[in-house]
Chain A
Amino acid sequence: MVDAAQQPPAVHAEQVRKVFPPAEGVIADSAAGTVALDGINLTVQPGEFVSLVGPSGCGKSTLLRIIAGLTDASAGRVSVNGVTVSGVDTNIGFVFQDPNLFPWLTVRQNVAFGPNMRGGRRNPHAGDVDDLIARVGLGAFADALPQHLSGGMAQRAALARALVNRPPVLLLDEPLGALDAFTRMAMQDELRNLTRRYNTTTLLVTHDIDEALYLSDRVIIFSPRPGRIQEEMVIGSGFTRARNAPGFVERRLRILETLHFAPTEADLPESVGNWKI
């Protein structure tokens, strides 16, 4: 019997460091190159939804890419479900900020790409393609080419494509960053439903603090480059996820404070001066 405590963490990073060597045409921080990440320790439990926020350039994307096996770490160790990451693995789904749909394939063919690469019809998930397309609300567009989709639709197709393999771990790199506010809110709900439904462990990089608070069980705040974990905020299951709930606003301010963006007394008009916490 394996109980929950003995189950290996879904994602485990230990003292991860990443240095990009100086290269032609790339502005490095020093002659030794750019230290993108330093001393990252991170443990994500199965089924957990964790968000990473931090200033741009602090290495969030780099960390996701290391976990996905797309980039090697310079030092440290990363494991997914107890297995050390040594290359790209289909146990991990990845959604980029750009939907990156293959323009020569229809929505259905794009979503079916993963199963097709891994056994075609014999793949156990080949039958899930249409189901997932319907679930992300693209049923009527299954045969459309990506060029005919709006940004939000394309990103939903990309989400379906990553999820059809039923990866136990899903990595999302600012997937909703390019969308307008309304589409984004609708997709946040969709994302929550889908990851809940499949009990997918999710790591979300976002620059939208509300999004992080709204979706996550835990928010991790990075320092500016070289990226280090500066603070962790456990949201907890009792948390009211309404965007205007008092706890929500309070936590948002705390994150902003950590990121040195909190409004100071001088920034606030007289009438809301009592907002300070």
Chain B
Amino acid sequence: MRVKSVLNASAPLLAAGGAYAIHRYWPDKIPLSASQTFPGLLGAVALVWLAYLAASWWSARLRQRAGEVAPLWAAALAGISLWQVVTGKMGLLPMPFFPGPDRVFSVFGVSSEVSMLAIGTLHSLRLLATGFICGSGAGFLLGVWIGWSKRANFWGMPVLKFFGPVPATAWIPLALVLFPTTFGASAFIIGLASLFPMIVLTSSGIAGVRHSHLEVARTLGADQWQLIRHVAIPSALPSIFVGLFMALSASFLTLIVAEMIGVKAGLGFYITWAQNFAEYYKVFAALLVMGVFFSGLMSALFAVRSRVLRWQQGVIKW
């Protein structure tokens, strides 16, 4: 039992060592990048893991957590190593479309590239935030209205049914005419992409509020606005969060499309730009950054949901 857990805890170290050995000693088919970023990264991962283990000496919670994530860390390192074997070491994939990790990570060792990626990320974030917040905010308000008022539902639903399925990107030509800047047009498209899932899920959540909860609230003295604010919206929150998740994924997609075809900044733009120079290792580097960026935003939304919907845990498992 002990031996097994020690082995488990040291697996990431073994994997990092193995990956380094492969990088260093396996003969290359395709010349290795001169950059030392990749081996440096392997070393950094090993050090971080050692620090993690050291910290878990004092904390039982960290120790348990370390035991849980150790196989994942090891597998990730093994996967990266396999990627290097398939590309640089064995030359199984055509160049320059499939560079190895040594080449891709070399991007993160060049300060001009790092600052371009960082600025690109900030541009993407600004555009995404503008579009997503406006779109899902408007979707929330319209959704509450359509979900609450029979009349708004009567007139709004057909419009929603008709325009809802049209992909937001189909509005690009119109958006370019309507807005003086590509930023405005792109934010509008991203907003549209978040608008519809938000309206649909908010309104169905609001319409699904238990009638008996509304009656209880009325007998306790709630007026119309208080019913909406203190009963309908809280009870619709689970559905509203599903809408937010759908809106966020839709806005990621739309963001990258917008940046690849019109906006002259951002991660999507960086990718097309690198592609034009056939610098595919930069494309992959940008994809990695995008992965971190998007999954970070998703995780943040998950964290908010777990906090806000704490009352729901144990009622519905998710």
Contacts known (A102-B231, A147-B311, A147-B315); A113 close to B219, Cβ less than 8 A: no
User: Binding site of A, secondary structure by majority: helix, strand, loop or mixed?
Assistant: loop
User: Which residues of B are found within 8 Å of A162, using beta-carbon distances?
Assistant: 219-220
From the candidates B218, B223, B237, B312, name the one contacting A70 in the complex (CB within 8 A): B218
CB nearest to A65 among chain B residues: B215
The digit string for A82-115, where 1 denotes a CB below 8 A from any CB of B, is: 0000001010111010101011110000000110
Q: Which residue of B lies closest to A158 (CB)?
A: B216
Whole-angstrom distance between the Cβ of B147 and the nearest chain A Cβ: 17
Minimum CB distance partner of B226 in chain A: A117
Residues of chain A contacted by B180 (CB below 8 angstroms): none
Query: Which of chain A's residues have a CB closer than 8 A to the CB of B231?
Result: 102
Residues of B within 8 Å of A, CB-based: how many? 22
Q: Is B311 within 8 A of A90, CB to CB?
A: no
What is the count of residue pairs linking A and B with beta-carbon distances less than 8 angstroms?
Answer: 63
Contact in complex: B219, A117 (CB < 8 Å)? no
- Asked whether A117 lies within 8 Å of B314 as measured between CB atoms, the reply is no
Give the distance to chain B from A161, nearest Cβ to Cβ, in Å.
Answer: 7
Q: Report whether B234 and A102 are in contact in the complex, using a CB–CB cutoff of 8 Å.
A: yes
Q: Which residues of the partner chain B approach A94 to less than 8 Å between Cβ atoms?
A: 215-216, 219
CB distance from A92 to the nearest CB of B (A): 7
Is A103's CB under 8 angstroms from B212's CB?
A: no
Q: Is the CB of B221 within 8 A of A104?
A: no
Chain A: interface residue count, which band? 20 to 34
Q: Please tell me if the beta carbons of B314 and A118 are within 8 angstroms of each other in the complex.
A: no
Q: Is B217 an interface residue (CB 8 A)?
A: yes
Q: From the candidates B220, B234, B312, B315, name the one contacting A165 in the complex (CB within 8 A).
A: B220
| Complex alpha-carbon distance, A165 and B220, angstroms | 8
Kindly state whether residue B235 has any CB partner on chain A within 8 Å.
Answer: yes
- Please tell me if A145 contacts chain B, counting CB pairs below 8 Å: yes
Q: Does A68 contact B (CB under 8 A)?
A: yes
Q: How far is the CA of A151 from the CA of B297 in the complex (A)?
A: 40
CB pair A104 B218 closer than 8 Å: no
Q: Contact: A104 with B219, CB < 8 Å?
A: no
With contact pairs A104-B235, A104-B237 given, residues A96 and B315 touching in the complex (Cβ less than 8 Å): no
Interface residue ranges of B199-230 to A (CB < 8 Å): 210, 212-213, 215-223, 226, 230
Question: B residues touching A (Cβ–Cβ < 8 Å)?
Answer: 210, 212-213, 215-223, 226, 230-231, 234-235, 237, 311-312, 314-315
Chain A contacts to B: CB under 8 angstroms: 68, 70, 88, 90, 92-94, 96, 98, 100, 102-105, 113-114, 116-118, 145, 147, 161-162, 165
Query: Mind listing 9 A-B residue pairs with CB under 8 Å?
Result: A88-B218, A96-B215, A102-B234, A113-B217, A113-B222, A117-B221, A117-B230, A118-B221, A161-B216
